[in-house]
Structure 1
Amino acid sequence: MQDRPDDAIFPQALLDALASAPEAPAFEHGDRVVSRGALLETIQRVAGGLRAAGLGPGRGLAMVASVSPEAFAARVAAYALGCRVVGVRPGHTAAQLAAMLNADIEAVVVDGPSLTPELVAATGDRPLLSLGECPEGKDLLTGAADEPLTARGRPDDVARLTYTSGSTGLPKGCAQTYRALTDHWAHRPSTWPPEVARMAHGFERCLVFGTLASPVVMDWTTLSLMGGGVGVIPDPSDTRPLFPDALERYRITGTIMTVPRLYQLLDALREEPADLGSLRAVMVSGSPVNPRRLAEATERLGPVVYQGYGQSEAGLISVLTPEMIAEGPADVLASVGRPLPFVDISVRAEDGRPVRAGETGEIWLRSPYMMSGYWGDPAQTAETLRDGLLRTRDLGRLDDRGLLHLVGRSREVIIVNAEVCYAGPIESVLAEHPEVDQAYVVGTPDERTGEAIHAFVVPAGGRAPEPGVLARMVRERLGAGSVPKTITVIPEAPVAASGKFDKRALLARLSDRGER
């Protein structure tokens, strides 16, 4: 095999890593072990099927599949052909599916468990390509794998679209180019500084779960394979909890998890201890971790806990490492660590000018793997990307040790189970009910979901609307993740001295009744 540098166009370095050790395991899927050679053969087989369907550089392809070695292979095959890959998460509404598939998507790849009537309706007359056990589409796993595969992506083409909810409640696609994925920190082992290398090498046995539509899951699985590790996918028929059961049962060395999952793990360990001595790296992200719970996690799990701060638009921005936690004073636990060496951070005032160290402002940044823009939305792109910098809309400060502290969000975003929910669309849906005069939404920290949504409605004409009806409206329009945890009827909206609606007063009401 010809050696290539790891800056060859993505995903060539991964293809070469698989080819270099064909007998070594790539995935454990329940009782099934898939070697690196077998995974590479599946990638080649799927690539042949995609190529036969007319897909190649710059062509749009949606992936809707459960977690499996074949689903991972399909994504790598699409990248190798230079396609624009859209990962579709489970749970999208019909309107959200339609919006994503209308973004110049030419074909849809699906597996049996992921095929739903809503997806079939949204797919329309586009070709449906399957990963086995799906008679509705052409099976990509039955073709030949005899043609050599070389990555064909064009550097400035969009490689990956990561969709989040937008300000209108419809998905908003963060576009990363092939150049950005090639320069992605997880895909270039030769550039890893010591602290990143220690973290990456902890993923020798990486727990793979959730959805491969998540760039975080794909990135960490790829990182594990690039470093010689194995992706461990629990048996889908096993109904036992992932945490801590799967960690102990599969002797996992590295895993990612959201903050609510960390809290659930810690609560479970209080009830019944588990042997988690195999763990070497636990990356926690999605929302800030309570310093008290972070200290508890370090005490129970050992010096293996990392806290990451990132965004769909920017990827991983900063990391709090076990070394920082061990060496620093107590206030280190309230930070999100130091920016990665590949990320330039600038904290700026409202007028865009940088502030001094220790002062709070909006976090701006530049990284080689940040998004190139929002797909099909030049106005939002121009608002978010300025002079090569990305506005995170998060508020924070850098202290004199270079640690980044998050203070709040300059946009009204509530992160529930690591999913971004916007207050505006929820308020708009609630206000559409004829018995609602005004609607306001706030978010609070929540140990189970990271943050929780709380709604306050002012009735129209004095008649109180039924909260269950309002919840169903939000679920049908925006999805289950946007449904408020509580809906409170209030006689009138509090007003601050400035004359504007005072959401802090509503937060105080929640605090008074124990919701926080």
Structure 2
Amino acid sequence: MLFPHPLLHALRAAPATPAFEHAGRTVTRAELLDLIRRLAGAMRAAGLGPGRAVAVRTAVTPEAFAAHMAAHALGCRVVGIRPGYPPGQLAHVLAMDVDAVLVDPGTAAPGLMSTGTALSLGPVAGAADLLARPDDGGPLEVGARPDDVAALTFTSGSTGRPKGCAITYRALSEHWAWQPRVWSPVARAFAAGFERYLLFGTLASMVVMEFLAPCLLGGGTAVIPEEDGRPMFPYAIERHRITGSIITVPRLFQLLDLADDADVSSLRALMVSGSPIGPKRLAAAARRLGPVVYQGYGQTEAGNVAMLTPEHIAAGVLDPVGRPHPGVELSVRDDDDAELPAGATGEIHVRSPYLMAGYWGDEAETRDTLRDGWLRTRDLGHVDADGFLHLAGRTRDVIMVNAMVVYAGPIERVLTGHPDVDEAYVAGAPDEGTGEAVHAFVVPAPGRVPDRAGLAELVRGELGGDSVPQTITLVPGVPVATSGKPDKRALLNRIL
């Protein structure tokens, strides 16, 4: 069944049940389906259809989700724009063959509305308000084509610019999260735990959309919390009687620190993802929260690949990140691309029906990443005799900050571009607040004294806030490892 048919079928099957709770209102499945139909008609009238691209930057609302699904029903390519892109990165994303831009009153901004047709969900100067357009009364017809690109979801590239991962309609139609007909017993139990799902973040995120699917397809309600000045975890869980959510490692630590101040007993499924978590912390979370903790491993290019369940954790299986979903194959390979036996560490390769088709407009990077149907994850690890995947590190210099991939190379290039800097080296280290933190080591140019605050602002302006180093240390030179390469571990040892 071609995406988004499974969702539309699920909405029709239980019209009276709530799909969303937001800002004191409840949106039923019938109302959501009608909203998708109306928005599809308005988008069609604006010239959108199969193969056309609409860039979407909105808040998280039922209307925004309906707009995503309406565009998919028309067969559009939905280009998800994350909040917080600096101007250069935003311009790079909007240059990816975008035909229209969709915003809401809270996300419209200069530089965003000048690309293609300007559309909005609510009154925005210079944009056509899709919600205000009269209902054409037309039926909801799905015009998606299997091999068209359904979505561009973005991850930072090795150049510091976002790379658009092209996911086809065929891939989404095979994706485990969007196809209840192929849910394993583990996936069904997981979906049941999302009866009241805490929805936050951005709909431009592959992870957010991937885990919203089991909620809506499994009969649950997506609850969009309101800000009340307190941390979402744990207080929104108590306030809305949340049963399921995704959570980053730093937010999990926050939840554990504050769990005694709120009633979190409603939780039944909590998916931890975005960065590694140590076995001790994972076991402590399960002890405090009960048999509700899952751990997930995946990538934007591949979706969620493996899952560790509460049953695994209860049995003392804490080191791996889980077993692969049905239909997902893993291959661990050495530097010569030869497959390694179970237990041997190498680069992890993934094959599944829902891999990306490639990076939009970047054939060279696509060829380097996708080979003979396999995706190079750039992660190191091994698969044990029981089929569990273990991670051992990364093949490239990347740092996970707030569950976002940050590359060291672009930061180093920005820093060395400053006239006061001769050399720059960037490394990551574990951090309780952000999962991992960026640390920079700078060799000053002769006779110069770099201004740390100025360098930090330079990085912020070029690459965004997640790339800003938590520390910038001036060093007279860089130590060299036995391999002849700069020894970043020795640099980190100076400050940790």
* TM-score, normalisation: structure 2: 0.98
* Structure 2 runs not aligned, ≥5 long: none
Bigger Cα displacement from structure 2, 459-468 vs 153-162? 459-468
Query: CA-to-partner distance for each residue in 1:166-222, whole Å, 9 max, x for gaps?
Result: 111111101100000011101111211111211111101111011111121112222
Structure 1 residue 507: Cα displacement: 2.7
Bigger Cα displacement from structure 2, 146-155 vs 375-384? 146-155
Q: Pick the aligned partner of 1:496 from 470, 481, 484.
A: 481
Once residues 454 and 67 of structure 1 are traced to their aligned partners in structure 2, the CA distance between those partners, rounded to angstroms, is 32
Q: Pick the aligned partner of 1:337 from 322, 337, 340.
A: 322
Once residues 112 and 220 of structure 2 are traced to their aligned partners in structure 1, the CA distance between those partners, rounded to angstroms, is 37
2:275 aligned partner: 287
1:276 aligned partner: 264
Q: Pick the aligned partner of 1:224 from 215, 223, 235.
A: 215
Matching residue's letter, 1:166: G
Query: CA-to-partner distance for each residue in 1:290-330, whole Å, 9 max, x for gaps?
Result: 211111110111000000000001100111111011123xx
**What pairs up with 1:51-450 in 2 under 5 angstroms?**
51-117=44-110, 121-142=111-132, 143-144=134-135, 146-235=137-226, 237-269=227-259, 272-328=260-316, 332-450=317-435
Matching residue's letter, 2:246: I
Structure 1 residue 146: Cα displacement: 1.9
Matching residue's letter, 2:129: D
Matching residue's letter, 1:193: S
Bigger Cα displacement from structure 2, 496-505 vs 85-94? 496-505
What number of residue pairs does the alignment pair up? 495
2:462 aligned partner: 477
Structure 1 residues 145 and 205, CA, compared in 2 at 3 Å: closer, same or farther? farther
Q: Contact 2:99/2:115 (CA < 8 Å) preserved in 1?
A: no
Once residues 123 and 428 of structure 1 are traced to their aligned partners in structure 2, the CA distance between those partners, rounded to angstroms, is 30
Query: CA-to-partner distance for each residue in 1:369-420, whole Å, 9 max, x for gaps?
Result: 1111000000000000011100000000111221111000001111100111
Once residues 184 and 100 of structure 2 are traced to their aligned partners in structure 1, the CA distance between those partners, rounded to angstroms, is 40
Matching residue's letter, 1:421: V
Structure 1 residue 136: Cα displacement: 2.9
1:27 aligned partner: 20
Matching residue's letter, 2:426: V
Matching residue's letter, 1:115: A
Q: Contact 1:163/1:173 (CA < 8 Å) preserved in 2?
A: yes
Bigger Cα displacement from structure 2, 177-186 vs 491-500? 491-500
Structure 1 residue 462: Cα displacement: 4.1
SS where residue 334 of structure 1 aligns?
coil
* TM-score, normalisation: structure 1: 0.94
Bigger Cα displacement from structure 2, 470-479 vs 140-149? 140-149
Identity %: 60
SS where residue 484 of structure 2 aligns?
coil
Matching residue's letter, 1:215: M
Once residues 114 and 69 of structure 1 are traced to their aligned partners in structure 2, the CA distance between those partners, rounded to angstroms, is 15
Once residues 231 and 387 of structure 1 are traced to their aligned partners in structure 2, the CA distance between those partners, rounded to angstroms, is 38
Structure 1 residue 241: Cα displacement: 1.8
SS where residue 316 of structure 1 aligns?
strand
Q: Contact 1:12/1:150 (CA < 8 Å) preserved in 2?
A: no
* Structure 1 runs not aligned, ≥5 long: 1-7, 512-516
Asked if residue 41 in structure 1 is aligned to residue 29 in structure 2, the reply is: no
SS where residue 477 of structure 2 aligns?
coil
Once residues 126 and 420 of structure 1 are traced to their aligned partners in structure 2, the CA distance between those partners, rounded to angstroms, is 29
Once residues 99 and 65 of structure 1 are traced to their aligned partners in structure 2, the CA distance between those partners, rounded to angstroms, is 18
Structure 1 residue 17: Cα displacement: 1.2
Structure 1 residue 508: Cα displacement: 2.4
Structure 1 residue 145: Cα displacement: 5.4
Structure 1 residues 125 and 204, CA, compared in 2 at 3 Å: closer, same or farther? closer
Q: Contact 2:101/2:115 (CA < 8 Å) preserved in 1?
A: no
Once residues 130 and 36 of structure 1 are traced to their aligned partners in structure 2, the CA distance between those partners, rounded to angstroms, is 23
SS where residue 213 of structure 1 aligns?
coil
Bigger Cα displacement from structure 2, 357-366 vs 12-21? 12-21
Structure 1 residue 138: Cα displacement: 0.6
Matching residue's letter, 1:141: L
Matching residue's letter, 2:482: A
Matching residue's letter, 2:460: R
Matching residue's letter, 1:387: D
Matching residue's letter, 1:261: R
Once residues 404 and 102 of structure 2 are traced to their aligned partners in structure 1, the CA distance between those partners, rounded to angstroms, is 23
Bigger Cα displacement from structure 2, 337-346 vs 145-154? 145-154
Q: Contact 1:42/1:145 (CA < 8 Å) preserved in 2?
A: no
Structure 1 residue 84: Cα displacement: 0.4
Once residues 136 and 355 of structure 1 are traced to their aligned partners in structure 2, the CA distance between those partners, rounded to angstroms, is 57
Q: Pick the aligned partner of 1:456 from 428, 441, 455.
A: 441
Matching residue's letter, 1:447: E
Structure 1 residues 122 and 249, CA, compared in 2 at 3 Å: closer, same or farther? closer
Once residues 322 and 115 of structure 2 are traced to their aligned partners in structure 1, the CA distance between those partners, rounded to angstroms, is 48
Once residues 37 and 119 of structure 2 are traced to their aligned partners in structure 1, the CA distance between those partners, rounded to angstroms, is 15
SS where residue 380 of structure 2 aligns?
strand
Once residues 318 and 447 of structure 1 are traced to their aligned partners in structure 2, the CA distance between those partners, rounded to angstroms, is 24
Query: CA-to-partner distance for each residue in 1:245-283, whole Å, 9 max, x for gaps?
Result: 1001101111001111101111112xx432111111000
Structure 1 residues 504 and 84, CA, compared in 2 at 3 Å: closer, same or farther? same
Once residues 272 and 483 of structure 2 are traced to their aligned partners in structure 1, the CA distance between those partners, rounded to angstroms, is 39
